[in-house]
Structure formats: C-alpha cells, structure tokens
C-alpha cells in the first residue's frame, strides 16, 4: 500500500476495555489517542482503504498536509498523513512557498549540482525598505524582519536611509543590507535608518531623480513604513513611475534595457504611527508602545497627585485621533478624557467637568486625573486646551491643579512586546506581498484585522483616514467614531459606563426588579489584569443598579463565607494593581471543594450571578458547576468565566488577561540577559519560561526577543532536534567575527520535556559547542506574572468585565421579569439554559460569549489547553529569522553568487 511507514503508537491501557466504536458524525481529528501512519502516496492509501470498505474522514482544510482518518475494527482511529506532524527544522510548508511564488535558496545537494554544471544564478529580486514620517517604536523591528525574510527568499535587500530624502539623494543613502546589518535592531526604538522631511520629493523633478537612483540600483520594489502622508507619497510615486521611466530613457539617463527591466514599480505599505490613526486596521506599529509610555507617566503622577490631593491635566499626542487619550483613560482609571472624535455632549462642557470631579471627590477620591488629546475639540470645534481645564478646576473647585505635557517621550524607548511581534509578522507579510504583486493590482497596505494579518488597498485606507478629519470638521462625530477601529466606540462607551460622569438616566439604570447580587471571585495563578477586571465589574454593576459582592480566596473562601460588599470607591486605583487583591488558589468546586457548601453559600448570600476570573482552573470550575445544576437549584444562575492566565491556554478566547503583561516581563528579562550574553561574546542562554503545556509564551516571546529557537510542548524535544540546533549554532559562531561574536537566546517552555530539562539542554550545548561557545541557564519563574499590568491587559479587562455583567443581565432578566409580573418573590433558579454558563473571551476585535458545552469538544482537558492554537502559525518565523539553514558554507556561497549577479547587473 505504501513504500515506507513510520509507526507511532499512542496507547492508554485504561481506555482499551471501554473503547467504543467511533461516531462518524464527530470529527475524528479531535480524538486524544490516534495511531499515526506516514504514507508517501496518500492517494494510493485512500484507494486501498476504499477497496477494504474502511470508514474514513478527510479534513476540509486543504492548507494542511494531506490527511486521512480511518477506523480499524477495534475502534482505534488511524491517521494517514503525507507529512510528519512537526517538520523538523520548521521550514515553511511547500504550500506557503508555492502560494508566494518566491525564489528559495537551493539545498546543499542542488547547489553542488549547479556548481558542477557551471550554471549561473539569475540576478535576485531587489527590494528596498524605507521609513518615513514621524518615528514609531517597532520600525527597526520592521526593517529587521523585511531584510532577513527577504534574504531567506533569495532577494537582495536594500535600506533607504533618511526616508524619501535618501531616495532623492541616492548614492550611499541606498545601501545593500546583509543578515548581520540588522543584528540587535529588534530592541532599539525609533528607526536606525532614519526619517526626514523631504520637500524635493514633493516635486516631480525630485521624484524623477528618485526613480533614476532606484533604477540604477536595479530596485523595482519598495516597502514603506510610515503614516498616511508617507504612504500617499509612495502611491503617487508608483502612479507616475511609467512616465518617469520614459522621461529618463528619452534623456539618456538610463538605457533602453534598464527601462525595459523596470517598467513597473511595486509599493507595499506598513503603518508606523503612534496615534493609531489609520482606518481599516485595528492597530498600527508603535501605538501600543506609546501607550506604555503614557501609562507609565500617569501611574507615576497618580502617587504624587494622591499625596497632595491634587488634580493633574495630562496632555497626550493625537492631533486628529483620540486613541491614545481614550486608551490611557481606560488603562489608568482617569476621571475624564477629551478626544477629537467625541466632544463632551454639552456645548458648555465646563459645568459637567466640575460636577464629575466634585462628585468623585465627595466619594472619597484624593486625586483627579484628566487626559486630553492635543487635538481635543468641543461641539463647536473650538480647541479644548490643558491650561483652560487647569484654570477651571482651580477657580471653580479650588483644586490645586497642574499640567503635564508628555510630548516626545511618547515616541521614545524600546518597543513593547506587542509592537515587536506586530512589526515582525506584518513585515514578513509585506515581503510576501511584494513577491506576489502584479502591475495591475492596487498598492497593498498590510493591516491587522480581527487578530489576523491581511492586506487592503493602500489608497482606500488613506482616503478613509482623511474622512475622519472631514467628518469632525462637519461635526459628524458619529461618522468619525465609525471610521476608527471596530472596538473604538465600544471602548469609549466602556470608559463612560465604568466611570461616574453624571447622574445616569433611567434608561441606563435597570428597573429595581432586574437588579441582582453579583459575586466576583478569582481562581488559579495570579495574572495581570485581574484587579482591573474586578474594578470595572464593580463600578459598572453599581452604575447599572446591581449589588456586587467580593468573594475572597476563591471557592475555598466562598465556602467559608469570606464575602463583603463591593463599594465604588473601594476598588479605586485597582486598574494598575498587579496580582489578585481578592486572593486566589487552585481549588475547584466538586473536586477540591465540596459542591454542596458552594451551593449553600450562594443561596445564603443570595448571589444571583457569578463572575469567575482565572485560568484553566476557572474553566474546570465552570464545567463542574454546570454538571451540578441538576442537583442544586441555587447553581441555576448565570455563571461566566473571564479568562486570566499568562499561559493563554483557556478555550474560547484569543487572549487571556495577563498574557501581554507576561510577554513584556519576558522581553524585559531577555533584553537584559541578551546584553549579558553579548558582553560575554560567545554565550548561549537557555531561558525557561512558564506556560505549562502551552507554548504561547515561548513562541510569541521568541519572536519579540529575537530568540535563536524555542522548545514548546506542541513539538516536544528529541535528540535529533538538539543535534540540529547545535549544528546551527556552530554555523552561526563560525560565521561570526571572532572579536564581535554575538550572544544568543533559546526559550524553553517549562513542561516541554521531563528528560531534556533546561540544565540538560544547556549542558548538551556547552559540550557540543567544543569551546566555540558557552552556555548558561536562566529560569524566569514568577516574575513572568508581572508587577504592574500592561495597558493592553487593563483595556482587555475593562471590555471583558462589562461584557460579563451584560451576560448576567441577559440570562437573569427573563425569570426576574416573569416573577415581577406575576407578583411572586425573587426565584432561586434564574436560568437552566446551557448558554448561561459560558466563557467571555476576546475573539478578534470582539468580546464574545461561548457556552462551556460548546467549548468542551475543542478542549484538551488532559493537557489543559485548546486543541488548536491560532498563534502556532507564527512558530516557523522564530527559526527563519534566526537564519536557520542560511549559514552553511553552501548557503553562504549561494548568497554570495546572488549578490555578485546583482552587482554585475547593476554595473551593466
């Protein structure tokens, strides 16, 4: 049937006797135990199985290797696959390569054959990268990824220094880059290739000169990282390109052959902007790092404001976009924000500002924080200035008020983890877009939408961005909000609803009979954002008329009755608190805690809705509570789980609270470790990160830290894998300048292997390095749980917590309305609907509720994680951008031949 088979037996003795025949209506790919058979000819295998009449299933996803699931007579599931589960050195799949249609480096064998035959390598595709406009953290990560990914695809990569000015000046401003040119750039803020205003490029003659410089270098593709102005200039340049080529040929400034070879210019855009002001994309490169700088400043201001009972007016950037101001307001718990897209509702906003500030003071707040975007307006389009706000608070309320204008500190510093990852993945996609572009297609803009990297028309996105300013100018503020990213309006409403701005209308406060007692508890390991979620839930519940109660020390605390009422002022300042103010443990009801006592305390304390904040233990609790409903009527209430764990291993969400905080802790630690490794020159650090059976932190952290490779549970570790990694490290160190050799980092997930521990791997590397390099270990441990939660975790916590309260309202209102209309007492049982026990998670740009029953089939309960992970597709980039396979003598010789061919082409 097949020529070669690799047999892998995954057997569990405890289930053999109870094994039932598989149900054909269920996806067999979700089975925990399968027998994997690797078949070289999958079609012959399929044909033979059909002849035998064996029940079969075939995955619908054609992007995966060909697979066939079959059932044997004993009820075991057999998986026939044309490829191994994890392809060794993690090269990109052939399907990706064929999709890109891009040149690849030859294998060593192919190279030797070509060398023996005397065949010449064709000139490589030449691509340039430039950064323009205002600098943004993450631009260097863009340049690094573009250069390295382009080289891995066999392209000659150039960097244009000083933005468009470099295009006009030409010469040494357009430089050929090699792999080492961008070493260490990931952690550097700003742009190392420079950016500058360029008036000559705004003229036709300047663009003609730029075209001449590019053609003489043989470059016909440019990746531009900048704002809407920079991207517009690039698209104008592309539209004029044919006329520039004709003009240059006509005046003998280029040859006919050069004109023929460079008839078309390819432009691909990347948005580098701290304002997050580009329409059509959820986030821009640099925006989150800028938000980090603002939150760090405001968190520091909070302590001095509280000490002196002062008010601070903090002005942030955002001439036409209020994203930074709004997100900073949410993340720091500000009292008021002013943004261009949504001015205060009243024409005279001053009395409202004073009412809010005074009410907060009366409730016990010792500080007042107002955040103002530099382009903030009122409904008459009059600017709202920081100094005016200061005067109002000082003169009308007698509050000692200071103004802090953050200025360019918002652009500075090393990029955060999110921006490093975003810049890297988008830049890889930009190179792919260049290699698949056609002259007749519009210039693409690489964007992030619903947690996926995709592309859209560059000029369409620019036009929509310009529409925002136009809508504001026409006082069409609803349209301006609509043109921002999908969650912008939702986040504005979340800020408003969780902050007392005014006496709420009757439409906002629920009728008295619909108000419920909401219990909030934490379970599992602490993670950043738990307290921010609790704060928002308490305040939003109060503003809706509910009665929130805090349950201390998880379910074990619940059965002991450690419960207290939550007050609005009692959770003030919790947004920036790390860990868990309520206390947490891993006790799961029905397993570690008596379910009867849980039900008793819920009924005794009249809890009518339960919000559980935590990791996989919280999901397990949800499963047990749903099972126990048939025995305990008091458990028939809405129960929701807000995922919070650094491992990001909860089903039903793309991100759990704490993951971003943890990634930033890993990045900070690895930057420091990397500095030590570089100082020691020839040293490799094996860094152990948390994550349990999930490799999320290692993969995403590996991208953000420029790791040499990562070891994750989804792949495991083998001796052959370690041998391959040693060979790669040896090749890198042989290629390094002996006096300038680099330190390197490898990330290992804590539970990847019981045999190949962090120490064992380090010792193997040290011994096999033959004194060419040394090895050390670093176990990051609980510092990964973070100190202060990151801005992203605070914002995600706020959105998710409001959704939790809305979820409980939705699933309790019907029973409460029925009891009210029939003039009966408040029922104990509020709902028995399966959907009323759910995970409230972030899916793309939305916050969605998924019932626990719908999530169980896609959950690996044994390994405590979902059966599939969206982030796993990022795994190959770690090794690819570390130069896997590019530093063998044959590969280096081939790269040299490509470069020589390009140089000859340029000289001709």
The model's pLDDT over 402-424, given as tens digits with 9 standing for 90+, comes to: 999 999 999 989 999 999 999 99
What does the pLDDT read at residue 908? 57
Instruction: Specify the length of the chain in residues.
Output: 908
Q: What is the mean pLDDT of the chain?
A: 89
CA distance 509 to 245: 67
Which has more pLDDT, 389 or 489? 389
Identify the CA nearest to 554 among candidates 461, 620, 633, 474.
Answer: 620
What does the pLDDT read at residue 62? 46
Q: Which two tokens stand for residue 42?
A: 């999958």
What does the pLDDT read at residue 712? 97
Contacts of 109 (CB under 8 A, 6+ apart): none
Integer angstrom CA distances of residue 624 from 37, 107, 251, 335: 37, 54, 80, 40
CA distance 618 to 521: 10
Q: Which two tokens stand for residue 437?
A: 């572009």
What does the pLDDT read at residue 840? 98
Q: Rounded mean pLDDT of 158-171?
A: 96
Residue 562 has pLDDT above 70, yes or no: yes
Q: Rounded mean pLDDT of 568-594?
A: 95
CA distance 260 to 263: 6
What does the pLDDT read at residue 241? 96
CA distance 699 to 710: 7
Q: Rounded mean pLDDT of 189-193?
A: 96
What does the pLDDT read at residue 57? 84
Q: Rounded mean pLDDT of 393-397?
A: 95
Q: Rounded mean pLDDT of 145-167?
A: 95
Cβ atoms of 133 and 286 within 8 Å: the answer is no
What does the pLDDT read at residue 86? 40
What does the pLDDT read at residue 155? 93
CA distance 466 to 626: 50
Q: Rounded mean pLDDT of 119-128?
A: 78
What does the pLDDT read at residue 755? 95
Q: Which of 17-21, 189-193, 584-588, 752-756 has the lowest mean pLDDT?
A: 17-21
Q: Would you place residue 87 in the very low, low, confident or very high pLDDT band (cuts 50, 70, 90)?
A: very low
Residue 387 has pLDDT above 80, yes or no: yes
The 8-class DSSP code of residue 124 comes to P
Integer angstrom CA distances of residue 406 from 98, 133, 287, 329, 666: 48, 20, 15, 15, 27
CA distance 433 to 227: 19
CA distance 773 to 765: 8
Integer angstrom CA distances of residue 897 from 233, 731, 748, 890: 35, 19, 37, 11
Identify the CA nearest to 815 among candidates 796, 828, 799, 802.
Answer: 828
What does the pLDDT read at residue 503? 52
CA 515 to chain CA centroid, Å, is 36
What does the pLDDT read at residue 679? 84
Q: Which two tokens stand for residue 400?
A: 């000692």
User: Model confidence over 241-271: pLDDT tens digits?
Assistant: 999 999 999 999 999 999 999 999 999 999 9
Instruction: Quote the radius of gyration of the chain (alpha carbons, Å).
Output: 30
Contacts of 774 (CB under 8 A, 6+ apart): 680, 682, 683, 684, 766
Q: Would you place residue 89 in the very low, low, confident or very high pLDDT band (cuts 50, 70, 90)?
A: very low
User: With DSSP H G I counted as helix, E B as strand and the rest as coil, what are the percentages for the chain, rounded to 5?
Assistant: 45, 15, 40
Q: Rounded mean pLDDT of 392-411?
A: 95
**Percentage of the chain modeled with pLDDT above 90:** 75
Q: Which of 300-304, 338-342, 767-771 has the lowest mean pLDDT?
A: 767-771
Return the bridge partners of 401, or none: 311
Identify the CA nearest to 859 among candidates 649, 589, 590.
Answer: 649
What does the pLDDT read at residue 69? 86
What does the pLDDT read at residue 886? 82
User: Model confidence over 343-360: pLDDT tens digits?
Assistant: 998 778 999 999 999 999
Q: Rounded mean pLDDT of 589-600?
A: 96
User: Model confidence over 456-494: pLDDT tens digits?
Assistant: 999 999 999 999 999 999 999 999 998 887 788 889 989
Q: Rounded mean pLDDT of 309-321?
A: 95
Identify the CA nearest to 429 among candidates 100, 28, 820, 766.
Answer: 100
Residue 363 has pLDDT above 60, yes or no: yes
What does the pLDDT read at residue 63? 46
What does the pLDDT read at residue 103? 39
Q: Rounded mean pLDDT of 74-86?
A: 73
CA distance 786 to 789: 7
Q: Which two tokens stand for residue 146?
A: 């573009």
What does the pLDDT read at residue 19? 52
What does the pLDDT read at residue 678? 84
User: Model confidence over 666-724: pLDDT tens digits?
Assistant: 999 999 999 888 887 789 999 999 999 999 999 999 999 999 999 999 999 999 999 99
Q: Is the dihedral of CA 711, 713, 717, 721 positive or negative?
A: negative
CA distance 620 to 839: 11
Any idea which residues carry the catalytic annotation? 275
Residue 24 has pLDDT above 90, yes or no: no
Residue 502 has pLDDT above 60, yes or no: no
User: Model confidence over 429-441: pLDDT tens digits?
Assistant: 999 999 999 988 8
CA distance 490 to 123: 51
User: Model confidence over 35-68: pLDDT tens digits?
Assistant: 888 787 888 888 888 888 888 887 755 445 578 8
What does the pLDDT read at residue 197? 83
Q: Rounded mean pLDDT of 207-236?
A: 95
Residue 504 has pLDDT above 70, yes or no: no
What does the pLDDT read at residue 265? 95
Long-range pairs, 349-358, Cβ under 8 A, ≥24? 349/378, 349/384, 350/392, 350/396, 352/501, 352/502, 353/389, 353/392, 353/393, 354/392, 354/393, 354/396, 354/397, 355/502, 356/500, 356/501, 356/502, 357/311, 357/393, 357/397, 357/399, 358/397
Helix axes 595-604, 616-628, angle to 10 degrees: 80
Which has more pLDDT, 679 or 394? 394
What does the pLDDT read at residue 322? 95
Q: What are phi and psi of 640, to 5 degrees?
A: -130, 150
Q: Is the dihedral of CA 239, 245, 246, 248 positive or negative?
A: positive
Q: Rounded mean pLDDT of 272-297?
A: 95
Which has more pLDDT, 64 or 427? 427
What does the pLDDT read at residue 225? 97
Residue 500 has pLDDT above 80, yes or no: no
What does the pLDDT read at residue 497? 86
Q: Kindly state the helix (H) or strand (E) to which residue 545 belongs, with its residue range.
A: none
Q: Would you place residue 12 in the very low, low, confident or very high pLDDT band (cuts 50, 70, 90)?
A: low
User: Model confidence over 848-884: pLDDT tens digits?
Assistant: 999 999 999 999 999 999 999 999 999 999 999 999 8
What does the pLDDT read at residue 899? 63
CA distance 266 to 887: 30
């Amino acid at each position: 049937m097949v020529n070669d088979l690799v047999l892998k037996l995954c057997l569990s003795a405890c289930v053999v006797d109870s094994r039932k025949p598989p149900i054909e209506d269920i996806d067999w790919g979700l089975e925990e135990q399968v027998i994997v058979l690797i078949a070289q000819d999958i079609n012959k295998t399929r044909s033979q199985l059909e002849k035998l009449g064996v029940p079969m299933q075939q995955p619908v996803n054609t992007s995966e290797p060909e697979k066939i699931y079959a059932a044997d007579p004993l009820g075991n599931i057999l998986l026939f696959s044309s490829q191994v589960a994890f392809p060794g050195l993690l090269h990109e799949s052939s399907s990706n390569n064929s999709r890109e249609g891009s040149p690849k480096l030859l294998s060593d064998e192919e190279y030797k054959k070509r060398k023996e035959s005397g065949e010449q390598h064709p000139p490589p595709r030449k691509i340039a990268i430039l950064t323009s406009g205002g600098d943004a953290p993450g631009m260097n990560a863009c340049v690094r990824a573009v250069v390295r990914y382009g080289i891995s695809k066999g392209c000659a990569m150039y960097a244009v220094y000083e933005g468009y000015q470099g295009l006009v000046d030409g010469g040494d401003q357009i430089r050929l880059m090699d792999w080492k040119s961008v070493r260490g750039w990931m952690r550097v803020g700003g742009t190392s290739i420079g950016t500058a205003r360029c008036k000559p490029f705004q003229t036709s003659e300047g663009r003609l000169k730029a075209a001449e410089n590019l053609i003489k270098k043989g470059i016909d593709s440019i990746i531009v990282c900048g704002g809407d102005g920079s991207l517009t200039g690039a698209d104008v340049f592309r539209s004029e390109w044919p006329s520039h080529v004709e003009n240059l040929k006509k005046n003998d400034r280029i040859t006919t052959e050069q004109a023929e070879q460079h008839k078309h210019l390819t432009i691909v855009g990347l948005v580098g902007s701290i304002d997050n002001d580009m329409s059509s994309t959820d986030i821009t490169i640099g925006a989150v790092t800028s938000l980090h700088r603002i939150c760090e400043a405001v968190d520091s201001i909070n302590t001095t404001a509280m000490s002196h009972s002062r008010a601070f007016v903090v002005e942030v950037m955002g001439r036409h976009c209020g994203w930074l101001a709004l997100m900073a307001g949410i993340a720091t718990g500000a009292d008021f924000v002013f943004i261009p897209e949504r001015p205060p509702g009243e024409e005279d906003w001053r009395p409202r500002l004073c009412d809010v500030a005074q009410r907060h003071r009366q409730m016990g707040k010792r500080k007042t924080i107002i955040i103002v975007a530099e382009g903030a307006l009122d409904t008459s389009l009059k600017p709202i200035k920081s100094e005016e706000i200061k005067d109002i608070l000082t003169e009308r309320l007698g509050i000692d008020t200071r103004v802090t204008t953050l200025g360019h500190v918002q652009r500075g510093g090393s990029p955060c983890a999110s921006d490093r990852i975003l810049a890297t993945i988008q830049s890889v996609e930009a190179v792919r877009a260049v290699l698949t572009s056609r002259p007749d297609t519009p210039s693409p803009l690489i964007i992030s939408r619903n947690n996926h990297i995709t592309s859209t028309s560059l000029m369409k996105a620019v036009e929509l961005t310009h529409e925002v300013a136009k809508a504001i100018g026409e006082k069409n503020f609803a349209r301006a909000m609509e043109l921002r990213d999908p969650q912008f309006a939702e986040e504005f409403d979340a800020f408003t609803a969780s902050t007392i701005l005014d006496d709420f209308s009757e439409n906002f406060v629920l009728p008295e009979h619909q108000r419920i007692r909401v219990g909030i508890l934490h379970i599992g390991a602490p993670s950043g954002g738990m307290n921010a979620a609790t704060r928002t839930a308490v305040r939003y519940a109060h503003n809706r008329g509910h009665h929130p109660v805090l349950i201390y020390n998880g379910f074990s605390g619940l059965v002991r009755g450690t419960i207290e009422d939550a007050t609005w002022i009692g959770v003030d300042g919790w947004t920036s608190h790390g860990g868990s103010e309520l206390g947490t443990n891993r006790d799961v009801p029905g397993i570690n805690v008596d379910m009867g006592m849980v039900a008793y305390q819920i009924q005794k304390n009249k809890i009518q809705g339960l919000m559980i904040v935590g990791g996989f233990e919280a999901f397990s609790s949800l499963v047990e509570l749903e099972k126990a409903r048939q025995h305990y009527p008091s458990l028939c209430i809405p129960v929701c789980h807000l995922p919070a764990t650094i491992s990001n291993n909860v089903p039903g969400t793309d991100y759990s609270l704490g993951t971003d905080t943890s990634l930033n802790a890993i990045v900070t630690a690895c930057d420091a470790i990397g500095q030590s490794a570089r100082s020691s020159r020839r040293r490799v650090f094996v860094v152990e990160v948390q994550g349990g059976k999930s490799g999320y932190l290692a993969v995403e952290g590996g991208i953000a830290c420029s790791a040499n490779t990562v070891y994750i549970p989804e792949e495991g570790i083998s001796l052959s894998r370690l041998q391959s990694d040693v060979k790669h490290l040896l090749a890198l160190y042989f290629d390094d300048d002996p006096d300038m050799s680099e330190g390197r980092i490898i990330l290992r997930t804590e539970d990847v292997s019981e045999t190949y521990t962090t120490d064992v791997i380090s010792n193997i590397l040290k011994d096999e390095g033959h004194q060419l390099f040394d090895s050390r270990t670093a176990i990051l441990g609980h510092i990964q749980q973070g100190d202060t939660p990151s801005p992203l975790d605070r914002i995600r916590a706020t959105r998710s917590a409001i959704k939790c309260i809305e979820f409980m309202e939705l699933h309790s209102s019907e029973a409460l309305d029925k009891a009210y209309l029939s003039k009966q007492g408040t029922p104990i049982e509020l709902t028995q609907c399966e959907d009323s026990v759910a995970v409230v998670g972030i899916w793309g740009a939305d916050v969605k509720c998924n019932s626990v029953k719908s999530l169980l089939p896609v959950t690996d309960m044994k390994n405590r994680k979902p059966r599939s992970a969206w982030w796993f597709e990022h795994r190959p980039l770690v090794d690819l951008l570390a130069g896997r396979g590019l530093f063998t003598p044959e590969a280096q010789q081939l790269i040299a031949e490509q470069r020589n061919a390009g140089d000859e082409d340029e000289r001709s």
